[in-house]
Amino acid sequence: MYIVPIAWLYVAFMMAVAEATSTQGTVLGAFFTFVLYGLMPIGLLLYFMGTPGRRRQRLAREAEETEAYLAAQATNLAQAVQPTEPTQLTQPAQAAQGIQAVQAAQLPGLDSPASQQANTGDLPPGDLVPPVRKEP
């Protein structure tokens, strides 16, 4: 994967050496030739080529955090409910039902008619207070 960037850096380095050893070239010009023709394009290329890998790592990390959060919520629910029979939430369906119960307990107004109304007027669904308009 890195053979092309290494080859391009070699070509840019040879261009810089040719400019530095030329009778009309300077070392400062050779430096800028190497930086502008070699390091900057290769840096951008490697950055753009690494974007999908960074995205995969970020999504995997977010998925792990979500799973850990859901597991903690299921554990908290299991400790809070204290069923009459000593059972554990081992099935994913039971854990999902427990999480839904916690969410329903935390958000009590979701089943109200105001939140389920169709958007037939000028107010968004679930908006009980109309917005205040500024007077001119």
Q: Say which range, 15-19, 38-42, 64-68, 70-74, has the weakest mean pLDDT.
A: 70-74
Q: pLDDT band at 29, cuts 50/70/90? A: very high
Identify which of 129, 124, 80, 69 has the alpha carbon closest to the alpha carbon of residue 105: 80
Mean pLDDT score, 85-96: 58
Q: pLDDT band at 78, cuts 50/70/90? A: confident
Identify which of 54, 45, 58 has the alpha carbon closest to the alpha carbon of residue 1: 45
- List C-alpha distances in Å: 78 to 69, 103, 105: 14, 14, 14
- pTM of the entire predicted model: 0.46
Instruction: Give the DSSP H or E segment for 114.
Output: helix 113-116
Q: What is the DSSP letter of 36?
A: I
Mean pLDDT score, 67-72: 89
- List C-alpha distances in Å: 76 to 11, 42, 63, 110, 130: 61, 50, 20, 22, 38
Predicted local confidence at residue 134, as pLDDT: 76
d(CA 47, CA 63): 24
Predicted local confidence at residue 73, as pLDDT: 86
Identify which of 28, 8, 10, 6 has the alpha carbon closest to the alpha carbon of residue 19: 28
91-116: pLDDT as tens digits: 666 666 666 665 655 555 555 555 55
Q: pLDDT band at 124, cuts 50/70/90? A: low
33-53: pLDDT as tens digits: 999 999 999 999 999 999 999
% residues pLDDT > 70 (the chain): 62
Which residues touch 119 (CB under 8 Å, ≥6 apart)?
Answer: 125
Q: What is the DSSP letter of 125?
A: T
